[in-house]
Chains A and B, each alone.
Chain A
């Protein structure tokens, strides 16, 4: 029997509240299926299962808040004979069952019925249940949502927690390099001539591609610091998306090194709006191995990022600006981008970081290498 636990969706996550089960005991699930939605500081997240088998039992009730790592469900592998299915509440009914009198009393007293456990028929909330709360015999269950003062603030707190941890624990070192983007932009112009407006590539896709390829060559920067550096096989690029109301979300582009520029563009077009809407899947929140922070056009020249733990490095891309550019004894004006690396000095040293930046620079200045 496989235990399905509340996943960690980032270093800052301590607990999540189950909002809905999308499966019931007896359902067949396969790796990657979304089986639940969980409310976290980063919004409602679709939780994926990592195993294939048959749901045996759902252990957590809707609206229950549990710490990361708590057993949420048992999944029988295909080899295991499914244990007789226990009758479980369907968990999908969100309408509150309450008697007319209970509703009226709760409304009069300003009590949220969702905080009361019903003891009536079919779990209906009766006037006796409301009276017990009014008389203080049973305190209402403190509901997570009541404490929240808004999604933006939750995100703020999540960012604060992660960044504090990073600044407290990670000895950062910083490197930067200027890159002439003229060839890259010319390549993009040419490439976009063959694409419809919808499929058009943006400069950012070259940055993602260049980083992914560079990480193949410098795997030390693609991993987690967990009492030592553990390099990751997959190159999942976390892409910082800043939210309109403040805060950031960092959805992952899985296997970025294996995707071509068009596929990467498709990924970006998919995850950015979903990140803004706070509708991401659990794997997109928890599995990035390296982070890119790209400021985009018309913004600051340089960004020195703070590493998102337990990752060990972050690449920052400023906006492309025209700058004087000396080359072969000549002065020219070129579109230039400042690229920075923030890296964990516990995991790597400046030489490694520098090698990485120089490879990124090489790819961006020779874009034909990127699409090989």
Chain B
């Protein structure tokens, strides 16, 4: 990570804060609600100082009731506001799942197209901070399963900074996953990059030998692995899916058409995850482009352990990616 995330620009935390601040400055219909986002400055200090700048009507602390405040966000969105609802961590998100699935994702359908829900839900998630089994989750696949949602994953500083505005512009509910283990990490963000295209996956590194297809916590690990592999003569391409629903088939297919090999990497438990779906789509659509079986690296199917070495062992690491690619490329 050290090689890629330079200590020059800003932290991931700061990138998120800048995105929120900019959106609120641009549009007074945008407001932030969530547990401890106001006076406490956010459980992870993402919204520190925003209460002072925008006042309690727009930086809104809420009771500890995920179902309640997500429902309130949906209501506000229905009435024309542009709420940003922060769910402190993804494990608490389960308590709001009914609101997300049965209201946010479904009302457009139930109303015969009359009711859009322009809601953005930001969820902190991920593994790697020794928060143990109940607070270390990669549940992007649970949300990516639900029609009616747009599900985004901010695996880079760039996306953390520039993904919020296009999400707010969407007329329909958008879930953005943010990664707590990245909060303190610094990375480069180009201010003039403009809005992220939240319909497309992003090729983070060009390569010709194999496509590493990943998202979220896997992106920087894949890029580091690709750097190591490049020194050994293997030219890996890194595709950041970024949009987990609806999946951007073409960027993935174009990459595999070029490299003819794919390794799918994510931290979510291995069975029935996003990689499962990507793998199936590759098989269904571009089978005859393949020069090796599509391989997956996913999380170990265990409650995530507390001890650091076991936590590390439970999700794919840079070395695992390197080894898997050598196996595919060199059969050793």
Contact = CB atoms under 8 A, between A and B. Distances in A.
Interface of A: 99-104, 120-122, 126-128
B331 A101 contact: no
A299 B287 CA distance: 62
Interface of B: 260, 287-292, 328, 331
Contacts of A100: 287-291
Contacts of A120: 291-292, 331
A120 B292 CA distance: 8
Contacts of A127: 260, 291
Contacts of A128: 291
Contact of B288 (A104, A121, A122, A126): A104
A99 B331 contact: no
A51 to B, nearest CB: 38
Nearest to A129: B291
Contacts of A121: 292, 328, 331
A120 B332 CA distance: 11
A102 B260 CA distance: 10
Contacts of A104: 288
A193 to B, nearest CB: 69
6 contacts: A99-B260, A99-B292, A100-B289, A121-B331, A126-B291, A128-B291
B323 to A, nearest CB: 15
Contacts, number: 29
Contacts of B260: 99, 101, 127
Given A99-B290, A120-B331, A128-B291, 9 more contacts: A99-B291, A99-B292, A100-B287, A100-B288, A101-B288, A101-B291, A120-B292, A121-B331, A127-B291
A104 B290 CA distance: 10
Contacts of B288: 100-101, 103-104
Contacts of A126: 291-292
Nearest to A101: B291
Nearest to A121: B331
A26 to B, nearest CB: 26
The 5 closest A-B pairs by CB, nearest first: A104-B288, A121-B331, A99-B291, A101-B291, A127-B291
Q: Which of A101, A104, A126, A127 has the most chain B CB atoms closer than 10 A to its own CB? A: A101
Nearest to B289: A101
A9 B292 CA distance: 43
B291 A102 contact: yes
Nearest to A104: B288
A74 B144 CA distance: 61
Nearest to B287: A100
B19 to A, nearest CB: 42
Contacts of B289: 100-101
A101 B262 CA distance: 13
Contacts of B287: 100
Nearest to B292: A99
Contacts of B291: 99-102, 120, 126-128
B261 to A, nearest CB: 9
A331 to B, nearest CB: 83
A180 to B, nearest CB: 75
Nearest to A105: B288
B209 to A, nearest CB: 11
Nearest to B331: A121
A52 B288 CA distance: 49
Contacts of B328: 121
Q: Which of A100, A102, A122, A126 has the most chain B CB atoms closer than 10 A to its own CB? A: A100
A131 to B, nearest CB: 10
A99 B328 CA distance: 13
B94 to A, nearest CB: 40
Q: Which of B290, B291, B328, B331 has the most chain A CB atoms closer than 10 A to its own CB? A: B291
Contacts of A99: 260, 290-292
Nearest to A102: B291
A157 B290 CA distance: 44
Contacts of B292: 99, 120-121, 126
B258 to A, nearest CB: 12
A120 B330 CA distance: 8
Contacts of A101: 260, 288-291
A267 to B, nearest CB: 52
